[in-house]
Amino acid sequence: MPLVRRIRKRGANIVVEAHGEVLFAATGDVGRWQNRMSQRVRSFAAQAAPRNKRPRWAHYGKPLRTTFSASTTYQPGRMRVYSAIGSSAPHAYYVDQGTGVYNGSGPWAAKVLPPWQRGKGSLYEATWRPNGPKGKRVKPVMIKGQKGQGFFAEGLRRGFQSMRLRSFQVPGEGGPKISNAMNAIPTGMTDFKGNTPGDGAFRAELEQWREWRDAAWTRNNIGRNVRPERNPNPNPRLTRSQQAARQEAARLKAQREAQLRASREAAERRRKEAERKVKEAAERREAGRKKREREKAEREERDRKLREANDLRRGNESMRRAAYEYLHKIQQVYPDAAVTKATLADGVVVYRVTYTTPDGERHTQQWAYGYT
């Protein structure tokens, strides 16, 4: 509600109303300050987020650093402004807080681990059985977890520092503690077991990984924790079906290698195109910088000439007033005194006052701006 003050003085009656709610609107001082702070926290959190150095698969979605957003809610009636910074990537939750032994829980058995590289047969599936009469499930792989990166806390700390606010807690100080909020761990991280969604994109890539693994198994190029069965006959006589199977495997291998080469060539073209765009952008920035410097130098030269011209005009005017003041005084003694002027090459006007004394001696007094 507004604050009203009534002032009475010398017959005047003045009413002043102060509406503090305006400060907390979207365009108010507090609202704009809060929005500026939330955007800085979002930017700093994105900068502190890690980069994924492993192969990126299509079902991962956007890179983590491009998924951050900030939102500000304004409640002028309650004089409150709320801000929230988060990421739309589902894995941002545990990359920030850590998993397994690093967040207070324990290790867990992996279900699916992607290949180490594209085209490799190192896919791990806990339920997979290799071909053969004695095919057994692969050995379990225990996941220890990963350390929390804490990029949200780092973004909050740098955001407070950039706004000239204290980002630490003084011992014994009461009130809200920002350090407690930064050190708190979400309860949803307890007993984390992974959250990769089993959507269509993941299932499509899983089928491709299985093809790579099966082809590697056919070549005895095994994947994770798998040992192929020994062939009791090292030199068996191949049947037609076995020969056909080998030919089909060779054809599929050649096809996959051709696809891999095409993919690498396309990636190389994309890399060169990206480098070309970066180079052009750098050249544009450099050309813009040189243009701004040139325009700045031209402005400074124009300003310098304008200042010199103004100084010359004011100096000539000052010398003119001094010469005529002297002329008026000297005419009281020597009525034949006269003033003349001449303009020099640099624009300076020379004023000369000449007069003759009774003994016939001629005197000259002159004034010129910048000359002694």
CB neighbour class for 67 (10 Å; exposed up to 12, middle 13-18, buried from 19): middle
Q: What pLDDT sits at residue 126?
A: 81
Alpha-carbon distance of 23 to 4, in angstroms, equals 17
Q: What pLDDT sits at residue 309?
A: 92
The pTM is what? 0.47
Alpha-carbon distance of 175 to 156, in angstroms, equals 18
Alpha-carbon distance of 316 to 367, in angstroms, equals 9
Cα-Cα-Cα-Cα dihedral sign, residues 116, 122, 123, 126: negative
**What is the residue-level pLDDT of the chain in tens, covering all 372 positions?**
566 676 777 778 777 777 777 777 777 888 888 888 888 899 998 998 888 766 667 666 678 888 888 888 888 777 788 888 888 887 788 888 888 888 777 787 888 888 888 888 888 888 877 765 566 777 888 888 888 888 888 888 888 888 877 766 555 555 555 555 555 444 444 444 455 666 777 888 888 888 888 888 777 645 454 444 344 444 456 676 777 788 888 889 888 898 988 989 999 999 999 999 999 999 999 999 999 999 999 999 999 999 999 999 999 999 999 999 999 999 998 988 999 999 999 899 999 999 998 888 999 999 999 887
Q: What pLDDT sits at residue 235?
A: 43
